[in-house]
Amino acid sequence: MPESTSRRSVLAAMAAMTVAAAGGSVTVAAPADAAPDAPLPLPLPALRIPRTDMGVEQQPDSAIEWLQDAKLGMFIHWGVYSGPAKGEWWMHSAPITPADYRKYVTDATDEQFTADAYDPTAWARLAKDFGARYVTLTTRHHDGFALWPLNHPNSWNSGQAPLGRDFVGEYVAAVRAAGLKVGLYYSPIDWRYPGYYDVRGTHCAPNPWNYTTDPAHKENARVMKTEVYQSVKELVTRYGPIDDLWWDGGWLAEQGSDADAAFFWEPGRYRDPANEWPVDAAYGETDGDGRPLGLMGMVRKHQPGIVATSRSGWTGDYASDEGPSVPSGAIRTGLVEKVFTVDGTWGYNSGATVMSYGTAMDILVNCWVRNMTAMVNVGPDRHGTVSDAQAGLLRRIGTFMASCGRSVYGTRGGPWHPVDGQYGFTCKDDTFYVHLLPGYSGTSFTIPPLGDARIVRAFDVRTGAALAYSAGGDGRVTINGIDRTAHAEDSVVGVTLDRSVQPADIAAGRTATADSEESSKGNTAARAVDGSTSTRWCANDGGTGHWLKVDLGSPRSLTGTRIAWELDGVNYRYSIEGSVDNRRWNTLADDTATTSTSQVQVALFRSRARYVRVTVTGLPSGAWASIRTFEVYDRPFSTDLGS
């Protein structure tokens, strides 16, 4: 951790400049009443601002909050590949022709996918034992086998003989009954179609089955695309509310990125009627005006609250981090989900060795302290049974979650950045948690400066026992007597403060007014203080001089503001003023000459006011005065999550 620094020296250095931090321009005015050696303040959480891509806007924070709070999910890779038990890419890596691969379903061998022990209730019970808050099932992987009776003439699915089952329907019912969030994985890739490697029929990409260039492949690719549209339409209309759609494999011919293939799949809001690979009306969907919907347009039409990954080619509501690497570095901004499997493959592999508990915990804890959620994969066998080794690992993690889950569920990473291999933090309300990793030695820990907060209690999270602590002359507090042996993989210490860990926005929910509002579109002043970055206040014309004002209810001692403008990369020039009586105004921050184009702008100052007003003094051509969120603070705060 850094050496103690004089609060006044820091403020004096900051007062003379505008610096970039937390994605925004930070304009600082030195408070006149700062104590000479006041401790460095606690940092604010980063803002997540939904972006629009291909006509589809990312879900607001309110829609993704459940996933941010869940912190732990269970992934299930299960399908025909569970029969040969050599992993989910076996058809590709062997390689096996589509005709021969079908025999894993039809032929009675010791590699037949029988699903005779399929019991999704037992899967849901394992997820609960694990401590998961959501579950995601592979409804169709790259081999093209659908785990439900898919109504498409070229489909290969579980409704056909000899299985005759709707595995997805049974799964959704069981997971929902267990009180868990329901996720469906779907892959547009389908190795059964030569057109997947040759969408124009003019240049076939290398592939394991030696498909070669053929003009007929263009129509083959189009049929494949229609099956994808029919599949997705059924998944989002047959099974009630679905919480998470886990796209996988938007790329074409296993080349380039998912976004590179958007011209083919059309994953955004609308399809182009002139697209080279049209989707028949029977398989596609339209909006109320008859416009053909793209994949996410169709999904949002039927599941408006669903969250989705980025792997369709659309940007996604959250990012994915795949594989067993241990997260390192800073706290992640936005929402990132780590996904990893407990053995070497995602689908069942009879020869795989399940990872150790210590390895799994190292990945998980390093996710949580970086504000990531994690989804851990198991691969049931051809009968539908999760192996004892996989289940045993998950249940051991569940034991930790039962005793220390309060330091994980519903928390956010921080308030300080973690230190790789040593420790990290999570926080919620008035309590933060110190997660000590095996690389940290010793039974005491000195926490970073707490700003204006004071410790009420320090405790061992696993046992609830109080821990002794002592204050140093530099404003830091050292916690002593920490048990590092009972759970060396993550020794968790809780610290409760006399106020919230992170300063709260005191403008949220207050009365806001403006001189001009784009009321016809609902972009009123109240939208700037509703706590959401997906809504906004906008003036009713493109002129300058428009202002937004918030009434805090009574005079408050203020420490600064944070503004999220409508657009990134735009030079909004402005001033911030404060007033006690709504008549006489004092300038709190002057950014009338700023050249910053950052979407988030932070101003630090010290003043007393009941009313705070931001006036837009300058705009580039084509931009309007428009603010997504206007935050006001009455506690010292920082935008730097220092360790």
Quick one: pLDDT band at residue 90, thresholds 50, 70, 90? very high
Name the amino acid, one letter, at 172: V
Q: Which of 343, 431, 435, 444 is nearest to 394 (CA)?
A: 343
Q: Are 11 and 613 in contact (CB under 8 A)?
A: no
| Paired tokens of 519 | 């009321």
The pLDDT tens digits of the residues spanning 219-267 come to: 999 999 999 999 999 999 999 999 999 999 899 999 999 999 999 999 9
Which DSSP symbol is given to 20? E
C-alpha 396 chain-centroid distance: 26
Spatial separation of the C-alpha atoms in residues 222 and 265, rounded to whole Å:
10
Q: How many CA atoms lie within 13 A of 394 on its CB side?
A: 31
Is the pLDDT at 567 greater than 50, yes or no?
yes
Is the pLDDT at 12 greater than 70, yes or no?
no
Quick one: pLDDT at residue 606? 96
Spatial separation of the C-alpha atoms in residues 641 and 413, rounded to whole Å:
10
Total-model pTM: 0.93
Quick one: pLDDT band at residue 642, thresholds 50, 70, 90? low
Q: Are 457 and 466 in contact (CB under 8 A)?
A: yes
Angle (deg, nearest 10), helices 295-302 and 217-237: 20
Q: Which of 11, 424, 68 is nearest to 60 (CA)?
A: 68
How many helices (H) does the chain have, and how many strands (E)? Answer: 12, 29
Percent pLDDT > 90 in the chain is 90
Q: Are 623 and 49 in contact (CB under 8 A)?
A: no
Q: Which of 324, 410, 382 is nearest to 131 (CA)?
A: 410
Spatial separation of the C-alpha atoms in residues 354 and 378, rounded to whole Å:
10
Cα angle 173, 132, 366 (rounded to 5 degrees) comes to: 150
The residue with tokens 């993989």 is 489
| Paired tokens of 222 | 């189009």
The pLDDT tens digits of the residues spanning 377-392 come to: 999 999 999 999 999 9
Q: Are 138 and 78 in contact (CB under 8 A)?
A: yes
Is the pLDDT at 35 greater than 60, yes or no?
no
For 68: left if phi > 0, alpha if psi spans -120 to 50, otherwise beta; the answer is: alpha
Domains along the chain with CATH numbers: 71-356+378-404 (3.20.20.80), 412-497 (2.60.40.1180), 504-638 (2.60.120.260)
Spatial separation of the C-alpha atoms in residues 571 and 437, rounded to whole Å:
44
The pLDDT tens digits of the residues spanning 114-132 come to: 999 999 999 999 999 999 9
Is the pLDDT at 1 greater than 90, yes or no?
no
3-state secondary structure of 529: helix
Quick one: pLDDT at residue 25? 39
Give the burial string for 98-136 (b: 16+ CB within 10 Å, else e): beebbebbeeeeeebbbbeebebebbbebbbbbbbbbbb
Of 255 and 18, which is predicted with more confidence? 255
The pLDDT tens digits of the residues spanning 396-439 come to: 999 999 999 999 999 999 999 999 999 999 999 999 999 999 99
Segment holding 295, helix H or strand E: helix 295-302
Non-local (6+) Cβ contacts of 382 within 8 A are 82, 83, 85, 111, 112, 113, 114, 115, 348
DSSP state string for 570-635:
---EEEEEEESSSSS-EEEEEETT-----SEEEEEEEEEEEEEEEEEEE--TT---EEEEEEEESS
* Count of C-beta atoms within a 10 Å radius of residue 8: 15
Is the pLDDT at 375 greater than 70, yes or no?
yes
| Paired tokens of 314 | 């659309």
Angle (deg, nearest 10), helices 120-130 and 167-177: 40
Is the pLDDT at 7 greater than 70, yes or no?
no
Quick one: pLDDT band at residue 42, thresholds 50, 70, 90? confident
